[in-house]
Homo-oligomer: A and B are copies of this chain.
Amino acid sequence: MKEEQKILLIVLDGLGDRPNDALSGQTPLEAARTPVLNHLAEKGALGLVDVINVGIRPGSDTGHLSLLGLDPNTYYYGRGPLEALGANITLNPGDVAFRANFASLDGKGRIIDRRAGRIDSCNQFIKAIEKIKLPCKYVFKATNEHRGVLVLRGKELSPNVSSNDTKNTGVKPAEIRPLDDSPASASTAKIAESFVSQAKKILESHPENKKRKKNKLLPANYLLLRGAGGYTPLPNFKERYGMTAAAVAGGNLYQGIARAVGMDIIAVRGATGKSDTNLLAKVLTVKNALLTHDFVFLHIKGTDEFGHDGDANGKKAFIERVDAAFAELANLDNTIIALTGDHSTPCALKNHSGDAVPLLINGRGVRVDGTQKFGERDAAKGGIGRIRGLDLMPELLNLAGRAKMYGT
């Protein structure tokens, strides 16, 4: 038996794309000048990944679970709990967690912005919000920008309630309703509604919002709750794969997923979970993490942001910045590197799609496939072929000499 290798899994969020007119029919990845990725491809092999399954449009949460080897059909219990874990809230079975958005309501009670004018941070409202009285315990935290998390804690709670977020502007928020006939769902919906209406009163009269209005900024005067989920512990990564694991990720959700499977979260100064993130700092942190951990998960969000903005040139340029930062990773010893996306976010769609994502695997033992560069259509011709997201971890464990034999 050969020496075991380490594994570096790099997820460029929303990496996959479609041929784009602004790039003469190339995808951003195809159009980008990526000498480092091309070098890794030349010494490695490419393929396509159907992250959930062919044609299925993954969320970022379900996509990551799948890439980490956890079938979302079994292990996905909603985005709320993953966001709560990302915000460093310890969850207990029975808790119900929601994502929260600070939003802007006009005088007639209609949503005018679902993100409160992309406010920088909502930490200044937390003290006031903590005055809310509910018939159960709760934790509320602000995370990035307009985002926050609400965790309800008590007996007889249920995640089976609707959202007050209609996803539209110019309309009043919806009522949070129970989605089944159980008393727990009815009571949870009532508690969530009470939280929202108390928060509305508090936020409306909050001095920070008065200041914002004076400065012609949209107020953060309402809370949209969604992604309700109960908490069930996920299988522990180390127990499942026998590897110590670390995550380098700026975004709250990705830290949450990593924490949910028991990875160490390594903080990086300047990792914002956005396109202005400090890529080099993240890459250097990854190199260090590989000294102390068997498996490192690096998450980079910017690609997805440009996809959602429909900015093909921006996505291309960001990929070029990523490529430059990855020069540090080009010659890692004894490490299987896998680089892929959690889903496609085609700029032409400004949304996630079910198009297969390109995959690059590099490292000792890979059947080098003669690929010259990394791109969606190069990947379609690659030696790995077309695999599913759930196949990725077994493939990497195998290449790293860490797979158990099935049979004898």
Check B18 against A61 for contact (C-beta < 8 Å). Answer: no
Q: Is A2 an interface residue (CB 8 A)?
A: yes
Q: Is A118 an interface residue (CB 8 A)?
A: no
Identical subunits present: 2
Check B353 against A406 for contact (C-beta < 8 Å). Answer: no
Q: Is A190 an interface residue (CB 8 A)?
A: no
Residues on the B chain within 8 Å of A19, using CB? 365, 367-368
Residues on the B chain within 8 Å of A61, using CB? 407-408
Also in contact, A403 and B2, with CB within 8 A (given A61-B408, A380-B383, A398-B354): no
Check B227 against A76 for contact (C-beta < 8 Å). Answer: no
Check B60 against A391 for contact (C-beta < 8 Å). Answer: no
Q: Is A317 an interface residue (CB 8 A)?
A: no
Chain B: CB-nearest residue to A76? B407
Which of B57, B368, B391, B394 interacts with A398 by CB under 8 Å?
B57
Q: Interface residues of A: mostly helix, strand, loop or mixed?
A: loop
Residues on the B chain within 8 Å of A386, using CB? 385-387
Number of interface residues of A (CB under 8 A): 66
Q: Which positions 348-383 of chain A face chain B at CB distance < 8 Å?
A: 348-356, 365-370, 376-377, 380-383
Also in contact, A395 and B349, with CB within 8 A (given A369-B377, A383-B380, A407-B76): no
Q: Is A94 an interface residue (CB 8 A)?
A: no
- 0/1 per residue, A164-196, Cβ < 8 Å to B? 000000000000000000000000000000000
Q: How far is the CB of A227 from chain B (nearest CB, A)?
A: 6
Q: Is A1 an interface residue (CB 8 A)?
A: yes
Also in contact, A54 and B391, with CB within 8 A (given A2-B348, A386-B386, A398-B354): yes
Residues on the B chain within 8 Å of A382, using CB? 380
Residues on the B chain within 8 Å of A79, using CB? 407-408
Q: Which positions 41-85 of chain A face chain B at CB distance < 8 Å?
A: 48, 52-63, 72, 76, 79
Q: Which 6 A-B pairs have the closest CB atoms?
A: A59-B407, A55-B394, A62-B407, A354-B398, A54-B391, A385-B386
